[in-house]
């Protein structure tokens, strides 16, 4: 069951109140991420890199409590789990949106297989209704080009707490496979130190010989 933060004892109370004063409180970071080992693992296991990356980021965010915070009318909730909602290629140059519930302890392979099944349903016209829940992470990618910075859609509601994640085309730098990884967050809840923690955990999950 979700629980709520005690604002009186919360160490981010001052920052939360500061960025509640008339701001659209979103910040975005784009940074290079080494995905060499994840690409190798996905290829070895016959998995989609895109789904594998969604799994890694989703798992990392679930293991880091600040990424499970959501602003609600009742207060700041800590979700038990957060799940991915991600774009997929559609017909005639359009795109679809697929949601897959996060299952703690699930392997990457099992997640990717469930995601593939969910995408098959979406392609038949079934679209996951995501607008009634806030325990989501929004994912997308631009695999056609390399980015240096990204500005994603800017919500006009300052209580919007969905992390927004995007990465670009896999490219080689000094013999390593890289993507430029963008994450957009609500500054009332998170800051740059949390992005650091996310990147560190992602790196650990993608390390060689890691059981995924």
Domain assignment present for 117: yes
Domain assignment present for 88: yes
Domain assignment present for 20: no
Domain assignment present for 64: yes
Domain assignment present for 11: no
Number of domains in the chain: 1
- Report whether 114 contacts 40 (CB < 8 A): no
Per-residue confidence in pLDDT tens, the chain, 212 aa: 899 999 999 999 999 999 999 888 999 999 999 999 999 999 999 999 999 999 999 999 999 999 999 999 999 999 999 999 999 987 777 788 999 999 999 999 999 999 999 988 765 444 545 456 999 999 999 999 999 989 888 888 899 999 999 999 999 999 999 999 999 999 999 999 999 999 999 999 999 755 56
Domain assignment present for 200: yes
Domain assignment present for 15: no
CATH code for the domain of 89: 3.30.559.10
> How many Å apart are CA 112 and CA 27, to the nearest integer?
30
Residue span of the structural domain in which 173 resides: 29-205
Domain assignment present for 14: no
pTM value is 0.93
């Amino acid at each position: 069951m979700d629980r709520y933060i005690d604002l009186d004892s919360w160490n981010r109370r001052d920052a939360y109140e500061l960025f509640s004063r008339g701001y659209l409180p979103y910040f975005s970071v784009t940074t290079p991420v080494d995905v060499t080992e994840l690409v190798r693992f996905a290829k070895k296991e016959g998995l989609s890199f895109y789904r594998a990356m969604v799994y890694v980021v989703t798992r990392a965010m679930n293991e880091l409590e600040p990424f499970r915070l959501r602003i609600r009318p009742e207060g700041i909730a800590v979700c038990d789990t957060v799940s991915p909602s991600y774009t997929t290629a559609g017909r005639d140059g359009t795109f679809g949106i697929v949601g897959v519930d996060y299952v703690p302890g699930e392997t990457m392979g099992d997640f990717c297989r469930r995601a593939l099944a969910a995408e098959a349903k979406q392609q038949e016209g079934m679209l996951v209704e995501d607008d009634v829940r806030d325990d989501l992470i929004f994912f997308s990618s631009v695999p056609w080009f390399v980015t240096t910075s990204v500005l994603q859609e800017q919500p006009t509601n300052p209580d919007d707490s969905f992390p927004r994640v995007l990465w670009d085309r896999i490219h080689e730098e000094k013999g390593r496979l890289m993507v430029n990884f963008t994450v957009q967050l609500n500054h009332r809840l998170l800051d740059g130190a949390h992005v650091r923690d996310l990147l560190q955990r992602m790196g650990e999950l993608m390390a060689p010989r890691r059981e995924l």
